[in-house]
A and B are shown apart, each in its own frame.
Chain A
Amino acid sequence: MIAAPAIVEAIIRRLGSAVVLQPTGDRIPTVWVKKDHVHGLLHHLKHEVEQPYKMLYDLTAIDERMRTHRDGQPPSDFTVVYHLLSFDRNEYVRIKVALAEARLSLPSIVDIWPAANWYEREVWDMFGIVFDGHPHLQRILMPKSWVGHPLRKDHPARATEMGPYQLPPEKELAEQEALRFRPEDWGMSRARDDADFVFLNVGPQHPGTHGVLRIALQLDGEEIVDAVPDIGFHHRGAEKMGERQSWHTYIPYTDRIDYLGGVMNNLAYLTAMEKLAGIEVPPRAQVIRVMLAELFRIISHLVWYGTLAQDLGQMSPVFYTFNDRERAFGIIEAICGARMHPGWFRIGGVAADLPHGWESMFRDFITYLPPRLVEYDREVLQNRIFKGRTIGIGSYTVDEAIEWGVTGPNLRACGFEWDFRKRQPYSGYEQFEFDIPTAQTGDCYGRAAVRAEEMRQSLRIIEQCVNNMPEGPYTSDHPLATPPVKARTMHDIETLITHFLSVSWGPVIPPGEALGAIEATKGNNGYYLVSDGSTMSYRTRIRTPSFPHMQMLALICRGVMVPDLIAILGAMDFVLADIDR
């Protein structure tokens, strides 16, 4: 990096020689600072610099103990990584802190960003790094009784490495005791001066939570005094799996992160991967990707539309929207051969060319859907009871949204026109014409209206894709593109071996780091990948939009009633796998 970005110079001016710079594949300024400086620096970046970094985009860690390619990086056993986002600069900055295994602690930044609360808990849960001054440093994704920290390299990745599961009676009792609900553990008091509170356990099995989410409610009558989400029931170790799957075979796992988003997840993962590998995706592949990703945005929003109406007691729309979704899946199936989780994008392109007749399928859908959307607007959005249930419910301001890391339609519902497809175009989005729908209210109705309009914009993008589909290859001819090009094999033994290795082991991605972030169905989905020059990722960090959204729940549902909680959850549009990974 020859010309250091302005922010790096500012950090160097502030901290002097204690700062180490690290070049990365994604060109995000990456700065190593000392543990004692990090709290002050982050505060400075959020509050004092010009064009401040208002959003804590992500906070995670890397277990560096097994990493071999660490050229120019300070010695570190565990590295804590902060990703900050500045909307004014339209830039990220990455701050890294090196920790020695003997002293795994650093100051908490919950006092700077309340959103850091869950992220720091997750880092503690996964790596055992202590954040001094954290108000409630407990396990968040793993069960309370779990032994060890799963994302450490010495923690087994497969059940077969762990020995058979035993449940002796005393352990059973201890496990059950760990499940006992004590309001004090959740930061709740049992009574107010004159009355006792009711504690209502919503979930993990509850029709209104859209999955295995648990919320402990502190109720005064039907009014919510406090609500504490308890997550982790859907945790499947997606990040750990990233460390034992090859770069190529991890693609289908990403489908299951936001399981309504299908190939949209592939796109996020591959955006990061291709930055890391330096692969240019050919135009046709880019447009195919955009077209399918936008179709999945519609699919995801259709599910959200129907289920929101159902959460509010309206029985029918969910059947209509699921019917439409079925049509969209017909197209997905014709192209990809699978429906919800096609895993169809490949490193450097897509799995196959579009089949014959794909245009007419899309054109049918483009003419079919708009009248249906008008019908749903009349049935749901314009319904007076629906309005009564959503207007003014669960509202937050732009500042609050940024403070808590809210992205996507939930951010745009507050009137902030920020769409990563426009602001940081990827996969050729800069070539498309579309509007960014916003709402001004920041309440449940605003979120609903934004999503309803987004479907129309996605249709516009798809139409442009259909009309302007470029000719050419559907996958890159870069040597790391997977599967490798068949024409290059069978010439001599060398080409045969190379082909065999890149098919059986998959590509070897050069060492480095990259963050790839896209505007996914629910907000910003980012993959932060660390390669150690192997066939597998060294660290796969998945930043999902639903995680910070859910963290905000307590803030926006204090003082509302139980039915409003369901409206807030419905309008938030989260997916449990997207929260728990």
Chain B
Amino acid sequence: MTSPYPMFSILGMLFGALTIAAGLIWLERRLLALWQDRYGPNRVGPFGLLQVVADGVKIFMKEDWIPPFADKPVFILAPAIIMLTALLSFAVLPVAPGIIISDLNIGLLFVLALSSLGVYSVVLAGWSSNNKYALLGGMRAAAQMISYEVFMGLSLMGVVLQAGSFSLPAIVDAQRELWFVIPQFLGFVLFLIAGLAETRRTPFDLPEAESELVAGYHSEYSGMKFGMFFVGEYLGVTLISAMITVLFFGGWLGPILPPIVWFLLKTLFFISCFILVRASLPRPRFDRLMSWGWKVMLPLALANLIVTGALVLAWR
């Protein structure tokens, strides 16, 4: 099912992912403003759309400053990792029939593996900045990722069991009759929460918790390096929303409209949900988040897996 013109798909996906991530900067600010009774950016271009360009120009023009006390190579490497891992995950994402860069038969595992690698970015950034706030942020990130990674993978195993495949296009195809969100509702909720944690968005933004840790792991970053963390975060949000769409909401499946439109609409919906969560929830305390992850979420994910496994076995 791989496209006959791979370069075309690769460039299209790269361009699409980066455009969406950049557009999210605008979307998030506008949506938050809408929910918070204010206007948000509305001066640059129609509806403030060109704000993204203005921000981009600004951030590129900024002095690329590396603190003298930082561990220079690691400091530079850290923001690259987050971009790299986020973008690589898009390689296995089926946008519509035939629009996919590489239909790996272990696509889902590939995505999970890369998102695990992504945490190195945050940890290394916190470590190499040689700043106590950044270090605390990095430590929190490491602990949080380990806790939430575990059940993130487990929560998806129910889907894999039902679809009988790790390949993402196959999982979409398996939902022609019924979207997996219905039989796997618990899995969906668990994945949604783990996805929030994975992207370090409110209420899981403890690694950067601005009222406590100033800016956490990226306190010392400025200019485009900071911009890469920023874009990396939005790529992560886009990816998790796309994954929710693919795994639980039938991917490109839908009546009348072309498949790619369905895919984008569903993804956009979940992106907006992420932003709404950010607008409404406070931030729990770090240790409670951990114990909640291990004591509540993990057992639930395991139970979900066992029950699904038993049912699938009985069905066959």
Report yes or no: A313 in contact with B36, Cβ–Cβ below 8 A. Answer: no
Whether a CB of chain B sits under 8 angstroms from the CB of A563 is yes
Report yes or no: B211 in contact with A313, Cβ–Cβ below 8 A. Answer: yes
User: What separation, in Å, do the CA atoms of A379 and B38 have in the docked complex?
Assistant: 18
Cβ proximity bits A376-401 to B, threshold 8 Å, 1 near / 0 not: 00011001011011000000000000
Report yes or no: A319 in contact with B36, Cβ–Cβ below 8 A. Answer: yes
User: What separation, in Å, do the CA atoms of A453 and B32 have in the docked complex?
Assistant: 28
Contacts of A340 in B (CB 8 A): none
The interface stretch among A29-37, A304-312, A505-513 is A304-312
Contacts of A388 in B (CB 8 A): 284-285, 288
The one of B132, B212, B281, B286 that contacts A314, using a Cβ cutoff of 8 Å: B281
Cβ proximity bits B106-139 to A, threshold 8 Å, 1 near / 0 not: 0000000000000000000000000011001000
Whether a CB of chain A sits under 8 angstroms from the CB of B209 is yes
B: interface residue count bin: 20 to 34
Report yes or no: B210 in contact with A207, Cβ–Cβ below 8 A. Answer: yes
Given contacts A561-B287, A563-B285, contact A319 B37 (CB under 8 A): yes
Report yes or no: A561 in contact with B37, Cβ–Cβ below 8 A. Answer: no
Whether a CB of chain B sits under 8 angstroms from the CB of A323 is yes
Given contacts A319-B36, A566-B212, contact A313 B282 (CB under 8 A): yes
Report yes or no: A561 in contact with B285, Cβ–Cβ below 8 A. Answer: yes
Report yes or no: B36 in contact with A389, Cβ–Cβ below 8 A. Answer: no
Shortest B143–chain A CB gap in Å is 10
Cβ proximity bits B285-315 to A, threshold 8 Å, 1 near / 0 not: 1111000000000000000000000000000
Shortest B34–chain A CB gap in Å is 11
Q: Main secondary structure on chain A at its contact with chain B?
A: helix
User: What separation, in Å, do the CA atoms of A222 and B290 have in the docked complex?
Assistant: 14
The one of B36, B281, B288 that contacts A320, using a Cβ cutoff of 8 Å: B36
Contacts of A380 in B (CB 8 A): 282
User: What separation, in Å, do the CA atoms of A564 and B288 have in the docked complex?
Assistant: 12
Report yes or no: B280 in contact with A316, Cβ–Cβ below 8 A. Answer: yes
Report yes or no: A310 in contact with B37, Cβ–Cβ below 8 A. Answer: no
Given contacts A313-B282, A320-B37, contact A198 B214 (CB under 8 A): no
The one of A309, A315, A562 that contacts B202, using a Cβ cutoff of 8 Å: A315
Shortest A308–chain B CB gap in Å is 10
Contacts of B209 in A (CB 8 A): 313, 563
Q: Total contacts A to B, CB within 8 angstroms?
A: 80
Report yes or no: B285 in contact with A208, Cβ–Cβ below 8 A. Answer: no
Whether a CB of chain A sits under 8 angstroms from the CB of B185 is no
Given contacts A561-B286, A563-B212, contact A316 B36 (CB under 8 A): yes
Shortest A209–chain B CB gap in Å is 10
Contacts of B202 in A (CB 8 A): 313, 315
Report yes or no: A386 in contact with B37, Cβ–Cβ below 8 A. Answer: no
Given contacts A206-B214, A207-B214, contact A314 B282 (CB under 8 A): yes
Contacts of A320 in B (CB 8 A): 36-37
User: What separation, in Å, do the CA atoms of A311 and B211 have in the docked complex?
Assistant: 5
Cβ proximity bits B36-66 to A, threshold 8 Å, 1 near / 0 not: 1110000000000000000000000000000
Closest to A567 in B: B285
Whether a CB of chain B sits under 8 angstroms from the CB of A490 is no
Report yes or no: B282 in contact with A389, Cβ–Cβ below 8 A. Answer: yes
Report yes or no: B286 in contact with A313, Cβ–Cβ below 8 A. Answer: no
User: What separation, in Å, do the CA atoms of A562 and B278 have in the docked complex?
Assistant: 22
Report yes or no: B36 in contact with A312, Cβ–Cβ below 8 A. Answer: no
User: What separation, in Å, do the CA atoms of A562 and B137 have in the docked complex?
Assistant: 12
Cβ proximity bits B255-298 to A, threshold 8 Å, 1 near / 0 not: 00000000000000000000000111111111110000000000
User: What separation, in Å, do the CA atoms of A314 and B209 have in the docked complex?
Assistant: 11
User: What separation, in Å, do the CA atoms of A379 and B212 have in the docked complex?
Assistant: 21
Report yes or no: B36 in contact with A200, Cβ–Cβ below 8 A. Answer: no
Within 8 A of B (CB), among A305-349: 309-316, 319-320, 323
Report yes or no: A566 in contact with B32, Cβ–Cβ below 8 A. Answer: no
User: What separation, in Å, do the CA atoms of A386 and B281 have in the docked complex?
Assistant: 9
Closest 9 pairs between A and B when the two form their complex, measured CB to CB:
A313-B283, A314-B282, A319-B36, A312-B282, A208-B211, A311-B211, A313-B282, A385-B282, A385-B284
Chain B residues in the interface with A (C-beta under 8 A)? 32, 35-38, 132-133, 136, 202-203, 205, 209-214, 278-288
Known contacts A207-B214, A563-B209; 17 further A-B pairs (Cβ under 8 A): A200-B136, A201-B132, A207-B210, A207-B211, A208-B211, A309-B282, A313-B205, A313-B211, A314-B281, A316-B279, A385-B282, A385-B283, A388-B284, A388-B288, A563-B286, A566-B211, A566-B212
Chain A residues in the interface with B (C-beta under 8 A)? 198, 200-201, 206-208, 222, 309-316, 319-320, 323, 379-380, 383, 385-386, 388-389, 561-566
Q: List 27 A-B contacts (CB under 8 A).
A: A198-B132, A310-B211, A312-B211, A312-B282, A312-B283, A313-B203, A314-B282, A315-B202, A315-B279, A316-B32, A316-B35, A316-B36, A316-B279, A319-B36, A319-B38, A320-B36, A383-B281, A385-B282, A388-B285, A388-B288, A389-B285, A561-B285, A562-B213, A563-B209, A563-B212, A563-B283, A563-B286
